[in-house]
Each structure stands twice: as structure tokens, then as C-alpha cells.
């Protein structure tokens, strides 16, 4: 097994200066806290209140993947072949051309002496207990090991599966793979255990929480183990209420504990339409551990 290489410090510093605003980057995304997205599959199952108005589910319906075609949202026996993808057991999977984008992105970033921040997966959960997702996740680890200039932000709601889904050599490193940031979605105190009981004690160069969609207060977090917090109200036509006091509280805690604070948005119809808290923009990124 090829060992992952670390990123040189200059490339890391350069890449974190302009996340989402690299003039040479050709794969933009509306997600403000990354440069681009990469999906090992399309498809997932809802697990908590934060999933209620899932944007990925709604987006997939707009593209025509609903009752008239194989479902992409649950374990089924349906299969389908499309242009550049297949559907296996209800999940959309992609071919070699799609996966090789990672090699091209890494080469591009290396030439610029930079890194790119890539969120995976925006249309799925990498740690879902689904045979197709698990198979494609193994493929992702192999690409991660040979693309050190891509820093992968892996975010999950299935925190209890993180340890069993990590590659065998993860613990060969003091802080896990040098180019993987591990995060959990925590929409309220009700699911704070995702970080407190699981991710907080797993080694990683960056441990982060996505407090989005924020649908309740978040006070019960092991702040001393946290590196980065993303805050956002819910977007879309069915968005639920969001209180600025929730964001103000976590901002104060981030300041007190040296945690990077990223305020993505108020609740709004469109994502990232109002990225200001009390008139200020907070697009902060942590410095990954060596």
C-alpha cells in the first residue's frame, strides 16, 4: 500500500489564503468553505432531523431521478446505465474519467504550489453502511494517498462508523492521513454525541463540526478537541428558523478555545446568500497539524 505524502508547508499556506477564490481553479462550487466537491457516489439515507430537507435529495429530483427512474436514495435492487455513470443498488457510481479528475486537480495544485480544498461527498455520506458506498470509499482512500495537494474534507452524520471506515494505516500517523480533514454534522445538541463520543478522540490533522443546518442551540461540545466550526442556517424553500444567538454563542466559544470560526450563511432561500454575522464576515480556516 502506497503511503500518503504530506503537503509542503508553503503549498498549504498558499492554498488556505484563497479558498473558493483561486483564479486558476476551474471547478467552482457554491459551498463557500471549499474549492470544489467530489462525490464517490450519489445516494444516501436520511438519519436525523438535519436530513429532513436534504438539498441533495431535492437536487437529484430536479435532474429527473425520482419515481420514474431508479431511486438514488436508499438500498434497492435497481440498476441503470447512463452517460458517465451507472446506478447500482440505488446509488449512482462513476467511471474512470470522473475519478481521474482528482489526479488532474492534484497536478494543477502542485504546479501552483498550492492545495485545493475538496469536500467529499456533497451528494452522499462516505461512511454510509451501504455496499456500493463502502466499495467506492476504498477507491477514494487509494486516490487520497497519491494526491497530497488535495486536502479532503470528509463530513459524515454516521460518526459511529468513522473508526471502522478509516484505512488500516490511518493510525500509522500521529494525526491520521496528512491531507484528510474529518468532520461531523451536528445540527443541535441532540446529536452533539457525534463529535463528543466519536470524532473528538480520533487523530486527524483537522477535526471539524458542521453546525449546519443549525436547527437548535449547540452548547455541549468538547471545544478543546475541536479545530474548526462551520455555522449555517438552513437554505431552500422549506428552511427552518435560525437564531443568531445560537451563532453568537458558538462564536464566543470558538474565540475562547482557539477554534476556527466559519460563518457560512443566515437561513435563506439560496445557499451562502448572507454570510455575515452582526455585519462581519467570518471565513476562518484552521492550520492543520503536522
The pLDDT tens digits along the chain (290 residues) read 666 777 789 999 999 999 999 999 999 998 999 999 999 998 887 777 667 667 666 666 665 554 444 445 544 445 556 566 788 888 889 999 999 999 999 999 999 999 999 999 998 999 999 999 999 999 999 999 999 999 999 999 999 999 999 999 999 999 999 999 999 999 999 999 999 999 999 999 999 999 999 999 999 999 999 999 999 998 777 888 899 999 999 999 999 999 999 999 988 766 667 899 999 999 999 999 98
What is the grid cell recorded at 56? 441533495
Asked whether 173 and 133 are in contact (CB, 8 A), the reply is: no
Asked whether 275 and 247 are in contact (CB, 8 A), the reply is: no
Amino acid at each position: 500500500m502506497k503511503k500518503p505524502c504530506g503537503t509542503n508547508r508553503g503549498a498549504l499556506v498558499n492554498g488556505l489564503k484563497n479558498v473558493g477564490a483561486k483564479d486558476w481553479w476551474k471547478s467552482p462550487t457554491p459551498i463557500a468553505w471549499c474549492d470544489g466537491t467530489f462525490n464517490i457516489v450519489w445516494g444516501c439515507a436520511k438519519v436525523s432531523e438535519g436530513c429532513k430537507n436534504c438539498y441533495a435529495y431535492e437536487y437529484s429530483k430536479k435532474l429527473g431521478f425520482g419515481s420514474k427512474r431508479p431511486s438514488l436514495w436508499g438500498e434497492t435492487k435497481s440498476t441503470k446505465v447512463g452517460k458517465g455513470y451507472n446506478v447500482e443498488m440505488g446509488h449512482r457510481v462513476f467511471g474512470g474519467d470522473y475519478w481521474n479528475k482528482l489526479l488532474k486537480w492534484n497536478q494543477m495544485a502542485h504546479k501552483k504550489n498550492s492545495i485545493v480544498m475538496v469536500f467529499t461527498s456533497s451528494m452522499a455520506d462516505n461512511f454510509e453502511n451501504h455496499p456500493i458506498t463502502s466499495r467506492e470509499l476504498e477507491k477514494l482512500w487509494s486516490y487520497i494517498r497519491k494526491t497530497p495537494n488535495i486536502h479532503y474534507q470528509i463530513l459524515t452524520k454516521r460518526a459511529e462508523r468513522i473508526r471502522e471506515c478509516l484505512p488500516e494505516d490511518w493510525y500509522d500517523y500521529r494525526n491520521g492521513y496528512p491531507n484528510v480533514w474529518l468532520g461531523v454534522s451536528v445540527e443541535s445538541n441532540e446529536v452533539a454525541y457525534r463529535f463528543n463520543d466519536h470524532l473528538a478522540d480520533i487523530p486527524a490533522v483537522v477535526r471539524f463540526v458542521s453546525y449546519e443546518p443549525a436547527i437548535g442551540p449547540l452548547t455541549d461540545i468538547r471545544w478543546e478537541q475541536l479545530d474548526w466550526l462551520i455555522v449555517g442556517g438552513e437554505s431552500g424553500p422549506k428552511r427552518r428558523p435560525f437564531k443568531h444567538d445560537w451563532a453568537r454563542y458558538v462564536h464566543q466559544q470558538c474565540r475562547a478555545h482557539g477554534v476556527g470560526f466559519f460563518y457560512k450563511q443566515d437561513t435563506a432561500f439560496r445557499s451562502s446568500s448572507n454570510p455575515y454575522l452582526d455585519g462581519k464576515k467570518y471565513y476562518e480556516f484552521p492550520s492543520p497539524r503536522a
